[in-house]
Chains A and B, each alone.
Chain A
Amino acid sequence: MLPTGLKRVALHGVQWLDDRTGVMWVLRHSMFHRVPISAKWWYVFGSATMMFFTVQVVSGIVLAMFYAPSAAQAYDSLVYINEQVPCGWMLRAIHGWSSNAMCYMMLLHLSQVFLHGTYKYPRELTWLFGVGLCILTLGLAFTGQIMRWDADAYWGLGIGAAIVDRMPMVGNQMRAIMLGGTEISGATLSRFFALHVFILPGTTVALIGLHLYSVLRKGISEMPKAGEVVDPATYTKGYEARVHKTGVPFYPDAARRDMVFCGAALIALVGVAAWFGPMGPGGLPDPTIIEASPRPDGLFLWIFAALALLPPGSETFLLLVGPPVGIALLAALPFISPRGERAPSRRPLSVLIFCTIVTGIGVLTWLGVASPWSPVMNAWTSTPIAPAFVVGRTPLELQGALEFQFAQCRNCHAIGGTGGMRGPDLTDVATRLSWDQLVRQIQQGGGNMPAYGKTLSSVETQALAAFLSTLDGGSLRAAIPGAMESQQQIDAAPTPVDSSTTSDAR
């Protein structure tokens, strides 16, 4: 207990501060404002997003004390932070993983707000500021990836530049403004540094202020209940009456859950950062190392996948029109659907849209990890071939096996489950294609395969077809009449195929 004299001094000090700043009024309307009693664990994600943003700001400021935002030195300075700066590796790990955590918390927050119909009357502006924050957060994540200034950052910029360049009329100018010139260079890194540490965080702080002000002004929504519809004519009056009657002060009642969740999330962040370490930098940002296989960070993998799967004819249109339309639809949501039911059980269309988007992005991300459309660039030299595919083969067939490797067929086609996945697995191609079909496919290509008629001689083509016609899957009867002499031969692995097989098949 404080002595009475000291108490009086402290009270006087608080009164003086309140008189000069009005701090008590601010606290009364922010920390102690009343929130619905039903606002419980579903409501912690927004606070967690803001907490991770704070971690980003603080760790980012300290990183800026060591990071050299120059194309000539950025990579080395990151290696220096990782290896020389005390706690530097952990600092980078926290910044990197907290960035992921911030994005995923924001997406959880967005999902909750969407599913609970919280964007409806009278919280349209709260939602709009939130949409802005969503775009800014993704922008911070992308520009942060550029700060790593490694091969992925360099080629990622190339991909960004290629997309911007597709804009009609102004693409060239916009690309030059984005890159700070006509090439990816030091000026590009400087621009993205300015975006990452000044423009985007500054705007984010401003929008967080507006978002929170809107939350305070229009209140936190109640948990939705089926049958309780939002009617602009009566909603505000009813909400205020209910909050006045049954609401609790944000601090400490509701804040307890935020504190528990945020505390646990912080500890989890430190655990993940310590376990997985900092993100990169990866390969050098050297444009002459063309053996790079650039990939975006996990959050953007679904876009990478979509770019492989979109029909080429509509790609430019979807790339340029898709994002603005998506953002416009998101922004227009509270004006399209300002009233009515908020409970997910009464909004099947919204739930369906949500599930479709989440499933779509999930599947695309999974495909992005596997990247089956990408050739395995070193499969022709590095992927072993099982003895079963070569033992007992004729010289012509063995020559064909060599052609299969040296013509880089393996980069796109697997045999026995190893190799590229761009084209079909050829383990049992002889059961699907006849000799003539094999030769035609090799020479003319088609179905997303180059025509090798320009590359392989007639003898090489014959040898390759001879090898491919031995690939019957090991346990399947060949579709080609005479391709397999007997079931015994099929069962015996490796399965030597008589040279007459190929001539018969011909």
Chain B
Amino acid sequence: MSESEIPPQSNDAPASSENRRGFLFAAGTTLMAIGGVLVAAPIIGAAVAPGMLPEKDQWISLGAAKNWVAATTVLIKFRNPGGAPDDGITRENACYVRCIEAGKFQVFAVNCAHLGCPVEWFSQSRLFMCPCHGGVYYEDGSRASGPPPRGLFEFEWRIREGQLEIHSGRLPGLQEGT
């Protein structure tokens, strides 16, 4: 293209052409913005949805309430409610059920209140000990020593139709609380 063929500069363009270009730019920007938001909404929505979904009512049975022996604490395994097919072994979960007396329970999460490591129950000393940073809890879940800022997390429990049920489905945590 030779110099003589270069089209006239835009400042020589008539006002209608100027307006048309301005309109096209504004329309393009607006359409891109709308399109971008429409595309981004489901993408970002899917990524952050787990933090926004309302809690489901997830009571699960741990077995007949009459089966527990008073003044004992035992590790009970259960399946997380609402799991996905590919959760595999991580869908399994565990809790400590302390039967204080017939019909009276405490159900503890296995996760240390310090940083979530699995605590182990020792029936002889009636203590829970954490292997990570040495948190220790008494049998009623209260903090005995070490870095945990509070006692063990407890599941909400109820007895329905003779079954001991716990409200599960959420990893316990300091803000999560229980």
Contact = CB atoms under 8 A, between A and B. Distances in A.
B138 A286 contact: no
A288 B93 contact: yes
B89 interface: yes
Given A177-B50, A450-B145, A161 B117 contact: no
A294 B173 CA distance: 18
A248 interface: no
Given A73-B88, A450-B136, A183 B171 contact: yes
B31 to A, nearest CB: 28
Contact of B132 (A74, A176, A294, A406): A294
Contacts of A154: 90
B94 A288 contact: yes
A292 B148 CA distance: 18
Interface string A310-353: 10100110000000000000000000000000000000000000
Interface in B92-122: 92-94, 110-111, 114-120, 122
B65 interface: no
A316 B149 CA distance: 10
B170 interface: yes
Contacts of A185: 80, 83-84, 87, 90-91
A307 B173 contact: no
Contacts of B48: 173, 177
Nearest to B83: A185
A111 interface: no
A477 B175 CA distance: 52
Contacts of A227: none
Nearest to B75: A290
Contact of A285 (B89, B93, B126, B148): B89
A288 B173 contact: no
A293 B134 CA distance: 11
B47 to A, nearest CB: 7
Contacts of B115: 158-159, 162-163, 307
A175 interface: yes
A312 B114 CA distance: 9
Interface in A210-229: none
Contacts of A171: 173-175
B94 A165 contact: no
Interface in A296-318: 304, 307-308, 310, 312, 315-316
A13 interface: no
Given A71-B88, A71-B90, A291 B120 contact: yes
A325 B82 CA distance: 39
A167 B173 CA distance: 11
Interface residues of B, number: 58
A375 interface: yes
Contact of B86 (A71, A166, A284, A310): A71
A165 B176 contact: yes
Interface string A150-184: 00001100110111011100011111110111111
B118 A292 contact: yes
A184 B7 CA distance: 64
A70 interface: yes
Helix, strand, loop or mixed for chain B's interface?
loop
Interface stretch (A257-265, A389-397, A451-459, A483-491): A451-459
A287 interface: yes
B133 interface: yes
Given A172-B175, A175-B173, A159 B147 contact: no
A187 interface: yes
Nearest to B93: A287
B156 to A, nearest CB: 15
Given A158-B111, A179-B171, A287-B110, A411 B129 contact: yes
A149 to B, nearest CB: 8
B147 A308 contact: yes
B94 A287 contact: yes
Nearest to A71: B88
A163 to B, nearest CB: 7
Given A183-B169, A287-B90, A454-B138, A375 B51 contact: no
A454 B126 contact: yes
B77 to A, nearest CB: 5
B39 interface: no
A75 B169 CA distance: 23
Interface of B: 47-48, 50-53, 55, 75, 77, 80, 83-94, 110-111, 114-120, 122, 124-127, 129-134, 136, 138-139, 144-149, 169-171, 173-176
**Closest 9 A-B residue pairs measured CB to CB?**
A72-B88, A165-B173, A450-B144, A173-B51, A158-B116, A176-B51, A186-B86, A290-B118, A162-B116
Interface of A: 70-75, 154-155, 158-159, 161-163, 165-167, 171-177, 179-188, 284-294, 304, 307-308, 310, 312, 315-316, 373-375, 377, 380, 406-408, 411-412, 422, 445, 448-452, 454-455
14 contacts: A161-B171, A165-B174, A166-B174, A175-B51, A181-B50, A284-B89, A285-B90, A290-B110, A294-B118, A308-B132, A375-B134, A406-B125, A422-B134, A455-B127
